[in-house]
């Protein structure tokens, strides 16, 4: 019989709220939000999900939620939770279906004025060269089983080895583009079948490639260290592990439902099905998840290559003149073994970030040497009609949130609600009137992803900035977007 969890919220300060431990919760929940956002958050079941995560065995610290929180499968999207490696669990619901859905940001040697009047042709060319939409696949690249296993084991390096980008790119990717301990033997034949022809494709939903520019800088010293300046042209790539990651999640949810019963794990919600981290099922899931994560790194790396190639051809520029350099690539939707300080002692934990971004501070050993003084770049995309943000990680994030922050704007409408709200509107025309050119595989995606369907990402970023778990560096505005 499922025990009901009564959701009480206590204000800690203007940017933090506590869900006190009750019933079988093993710890408090802590939600990063302001008062206005909290009213919207209460409209779905995500706060209950924060409380439910606090039931799980071996949880360390609090069950956390970022300001872009909304309802998800098991864990809320925007949820963060860490677990002891020996007493704790790993849960596919704490990672999500789109394993290592992530964001990468590139800077260029171009000014906004350099591509004035050329956005239409650039976006058309990108849309032609990067397959997008439901079921999208590349006709010119279909992996055999041996090649796909190498992608699982090498991640972005596999793509670089095939000529997609340079070794320098790897220095600017979380984990250098390869999660350790990937094991292809734990990936099902069905998952491999789904993945073999989708590498180098954008997919559907909220995935996109965006050409934009730096519209505002908040910290000039940090911006300079990241190679950013006002009016500079930038490119964002947002996609993940495609059908492969979805299938890995689906496969292991079934396995974990049995494992939860096998290990006597009491769940407030069956969607939180899990297994001990150090169990056979736990190790197998982490091995398969790492394969999907590495596939996603390779996917973004290949799309980056096609973005560079396309812009060079359309603008008739050499790579040296275009200077489309990778700033950073961050994971969302991942469970990673990391070392954190707990009660004054260093301890390895399994940190789940679902719709959350790592935000490590300056001098952290796991961030690239080039960012040791600034802290890890944090990339927060908004919706296609407004803006995105560049931040850096902070020491406070390491102390409070296991080095985590928000990952985007967060939905306020379901896709069905967005379709209903957009009836009679010409969203593409509205965006063009704002100076934003959009191309998509279908009208439905554009409508489902319209700005009204999301929180204003500025509100989300202000919360994490003012709470001190990441620091604002720059704002980016879109000029052209291709959607899945």
The pLDDT value given to residue 480:
97
- Global confidence as pTM: 0.96
* d(C-alpha 208, C-alpha 205), whole Å: 9
Decide if 207 contacts 133 (C-beta within 8 A): no
Q: Is 203 left (phi over 0), alpha (psi -120 to 50) or beta?
A: left
**What local confidence, expressed as pLDDT, does residue 52 receive?**
98
Residues 263, 466: Cα–Cα separation, whole Å: 42
The rounded distance, in Å, linking the Cα atoms of 170 and 297 is 10
- From residue 248, alpha-carbon distances to 80, 162, 424 in Å are 20, 25, 39
Closest of 79, 81, 92, 89 to residue 351, by C-alpha: 81
Q: Are 32 and 67 in contact (CB under 8 A)?
A: yes
441: DSSP letter: S
According to the model, what pLDDT value does residue 442 have?
A: 79
> What pLDDT was estimated at residue 377?
98
Please list the active-site residues: 407
Residue 6, pLDDT score: 55
Q: Which pLDDT score is estimated for 384?
A: 87
Q: How many CA atoms lie within 13 A of 261 on its CB side?
A: 6
Contact 437, 115 (CB under 8 A): no
Domains and CATH numbers, the chain: 10-483 (3.90.1860.10)
Q: Alpha carbon of 161 to those of 29, 136, 169: distances in Å?
A: 44, 24, 12
**Contact assessment for residue 240 and residue 98, using Cβ atoms and an 8 Å cutoff:** yes
Q: What is the mean pLDDT of each run of 10 residues along the chain (484 residues)?
A: 63 98 97 95 95 98 97 97 98 98 98 96 96 77 94 98 97 97 98 95 90 98 98 97 97 98 97 98 98 98 97 97 98 97 96 98 96 97 93 98 95 85 87 91 83 91 98 98 89
């Amino acid at each position: 019989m499922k025990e009901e969890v009564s959701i009480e919220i206590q204000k800690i300060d203007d940017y933090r709220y506590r869900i006190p431990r009750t019933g079988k919760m093993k710890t408090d929940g802590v939600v990063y939000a302001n008062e206005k956002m909290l009213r919207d958050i209460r409209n779905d079941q995500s706060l209950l999900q924060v409380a439910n995560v606090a039931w799980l065995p071996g949880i360390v610290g609090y069950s956390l939620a970022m300001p872009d929180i909304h309802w998800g499968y098991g864990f809320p999207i925007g949820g963060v939770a860490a677990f002891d490696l020996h007493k704790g669990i790993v849960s596919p619901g704490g990672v999500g279906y789109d394993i290592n859905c992530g964001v990468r940001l590139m800077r260029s040697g171009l000014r906004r004025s350099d591509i004035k009047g050329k956005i239409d042709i650039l976006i058309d060319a990108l849309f032609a060269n990067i397959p997008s939409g439901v079921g999208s696949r590349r006709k010119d690249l279909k992996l055999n089983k041996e090649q796909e296993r190498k992608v699982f084991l090498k991640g972005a390096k596999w793509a670089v080895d095939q000529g997609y980008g340079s070794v320098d790119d790897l220095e600017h990717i979380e984990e250098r583009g390869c999660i350790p301990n990937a094991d292809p033997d734990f990936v099902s034949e069905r998952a491999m079948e789904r993945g073999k022809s989708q590498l180098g494709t954008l997919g559907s939903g909220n995935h996109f490639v965006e050409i934009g520019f730096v519209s505002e800088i908040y910290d000039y010293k940090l911006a300079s260290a990241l190679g950013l300046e006002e009016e500079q042209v930038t490119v964002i790539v947002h996609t993940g592990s495609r059908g492969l990651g979805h299938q890995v999640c689906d496969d292991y949810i079934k396995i974990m439902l049995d494992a939860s019963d096998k290990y006597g794990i009491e769940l407030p919600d069956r969607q939180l099905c899990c297994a001990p981290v150090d169990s056979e099922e736990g190790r197998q899931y982490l091995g398969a998840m790492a394969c999907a994560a590495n596939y996603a790194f390779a996917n973004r790396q290949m799309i980056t290559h096609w973005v560079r190639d396309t812009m060079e051809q359309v603008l008739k520029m050499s790579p040296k003149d275009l200077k489309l350099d990778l700033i950073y690539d961050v994971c969302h939707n991942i469970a990673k073994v990391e070392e954190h300080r707990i009660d004054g002692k260093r301890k390895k934990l399994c940190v789940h970030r679902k719709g959350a971004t790592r935000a490590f501070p300056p001098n952290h050993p796991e961030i690239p040497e080039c960012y040791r003084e600034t802290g890890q770049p944090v990339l927060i995309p908004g919706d296609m009609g407004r803006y995105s943000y560049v931040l850096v990680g902070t020491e406070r994030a390491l102390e409070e949130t296991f080095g985590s922050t928000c990952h985007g704007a967060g939905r306020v409408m379901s896709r069905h609600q967005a379709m209903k709200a957009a009836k009679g509107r010409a969203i593409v025309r509205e965006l063009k009137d704002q100076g934003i050119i959009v191309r998509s595989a279908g009208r439905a995606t554009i409508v489902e992803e319209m700005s009204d369907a999301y929180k204003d990402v500025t509100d989300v970023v202000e919360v994490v900035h003012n709470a001190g778990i990441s620091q604002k560096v720059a704002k980016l505005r879109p000029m052209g977007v291709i959607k899945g």
